[in-house]
Every structure is written in C-alpha cells, then in structure tokens.
Amino acid sequence: MLKDITVGQFYPANSPVHRLDAGIKLIATFVFMVSIFLVNRFYVYGIVVAVLAAIIAASKIPGKYIIKGIKPLRWIILFTMIINMFFIPGEVLWALGPAKITVEGIRQAFFMSIRLILLIVGTSVLTLTTSPIALTDGIERVLSPLKKVGFPVHELAMMMTIALRFIPTLLDETDKIMKAQMSRGADFESKNIMNRAKNLVPLLVPLFISAFRRADELSMAMDARCYRGGDNRTKMKEAVIGKPEYTAVFITIVYMAAIIALRFVKVGI
C-alpha cells in the first residue's frame, strides 16, 4: 500500500502541463480546489471530471498512476460515505433502531466522495507535473507580495517543498523497516487491532529516528554550502511567462466563470 502513495512524487514527462510555469499551475490548482466546493449539482461534477481528464491526458501521466494514488485513501472515502449516509436527516429509506439511511444522506455521501476524489487527483497532478525546485520557486513567487509585511515567504516555500520531497523518502524507509520487522516475526496484517497497534511501536520509533537524522543531515549539508536563501538569491531557471501561460490563465478564468454560473442554474440534480 505504501508504494501506492503518489503525493509528493514527480512524474517526468515532456508535456505542455509539465512545461507550464509553476506559479500559474499553483494558482490554477487553487482555483480548481475552490471550484469543487462551489459545485452543487451532480451534472456539474461531470464537467469538472471532463476538464480534469483533459488535463491528465495533456500531462501524459498514465491513468493507472493517478488511480493508484487514490487507493491508500479508500478507507477515508468509505468512512466519509458511511458518516453522511447515517447522519444526514431526510426521507428515510432504511432504519434499524436509531440507525437510519436517508435519501439526502445517500446523495450527500456520493457528493462528498466525489469531492474528495477530485481534490486528491487535482492536487496530485500539480506535484506529479512540477519538480520540487520549480514548486519552491512557484510558491515563493505567488506569495511574494507578503514579503512587504515581513512574512518569511522563502522559508515557508522551502519548508513546504522539503516536506513534499521527503514523503517518498520516508515511505521507502517505512517499507524497509516493515520488511525488517516482518522478518523478525512482526505481524502488520493481523485482524486483531490491539496486536497491530503493538506491532506499530517497533516501526514508528526507528522511523522517527531516521526522519530526525535525515533532517539533521540536510541542515548540515545546507550550512556546509553556505545556503542562506531569501533576498539576493539567484535562480538557475528564471520564470518566463509566455503564450502557454496566458492560455492557461484564460482557460482557468473561463472554467471558474462557468462553475460560478452553473451554481445558480436550477437544472438537473
């Protein structure tokens, strides 16, 4: 299951989406996330899915790679569906004592599940098509106006990118520790919850130690190279805003305007 997590990973490819400026992709992703919460009809989600599918196709990322990123969160999605089914009041379809499933609950359950899946896939496309260095520069440019009020923009961008970059590293480390513990008799697949919890202790302790050690090594390496960041720091690749970026901005504006307009159209479910 650990190898199914794609958050923080970069999928190298020569596509129009990969070549887009990271700052533009960040803004477009934020707009996409906001648009998901503005949708209040199922048919509008069909439009959102079509737009997202077109972006994934343009990015040349295999569909199975995107689906693989959803698998680790399937239990969270299922739990969200169950909570909405049983706790949203409305027309009762099935009841057993205090437990009731309503028509509104089923609708809301599917609504929230679709929303979660779209959020996961949409944000995954950003990290899969943007290298960590480009992502750092993009975050810094987008938040640069906050520098005028003394906000540590560069430090925040660096911390966020390092955190994303180390997700795959820590997952790989977790997998190695799990295999080592399983060779010593640890059972991470037991149906007994208490046994599984006890077996997590010898997994978490070395994982935390490894994470702190890697963080210490990274800070020492940055100090050894006299890294300071912030002002007067040059970049290997300067941002160039061209026709593709203007086209992406135009498409984003049209998309958001359509979502806002459709929110107030009383058609469909």
* Cα–Cα distance, 121 to 117 (Å, whole number): 6
111 belongs to a structural domain: yes
243 belongs to a structural domain: yes
Beta bridge partners of 100: 95
**Phi, psi angle pair for 7, to nearest 5°:** -65, 130
210 belongs to a structural domain: no
Average pLDDT over residues 69-88: 81
Closest CA to 8 of 105, 132, 96: 132
Average pLDDT over residues 188-215: 76
pLDDT at position 8 is: 64
**Phi, psi angle pair for 21, to nearest 5°:** -60, 135
pLDDT at position 100 is: 78
164 belongs to a structural domain: no
What 155-163 contacts at long range (C-beta under 8 Å, 24+ apart), as own/partner pairs, is 155/229, 155/230, 158/229, 160/136, 161/132, 161/133, 161/135, 161/136, 162/132, 162/218, 163/8
Please report the sign of the dihedral spanned by the C-alpha atoms of residue 140, residue 143, residue 148, residue 151.
negative
**pLDDT (tens digit, 9 = 90+) per residue, 99-144?**
778 878 888 888 888 988 999 888 888 888 988 778 888 888 888 8
The answer, as to whether pTM is greater than 0.85, is no
159 belongs to a structural domain: no
21 belongs to a structural domain: yes
pLDDT at position 193 is: 66
Structural domain count, the chain: 1
The parent domain of residue 94 ranges over: 2-130+239-263
pLDDT at position 266 is: 66
Closest CA to 131 of 32, 53, 269, 25: 25
pLDDT at 215 over 90: no
218 belongs to a structural domain: no
CB 9 within 8 A of CB 135: no
pLDDT at position 181 is: 78
CB 82 within 8 A of CB 101: no
| 42-59 helix and 22-38 helix, angle to the nearest 10 degrees | 160
pLDDT at position 214 is: 85
**pLDDT (tens digit, 9 = 90+) per residue, 94-105?**
776 677 788 788
18 belongs to a structural domain: yes
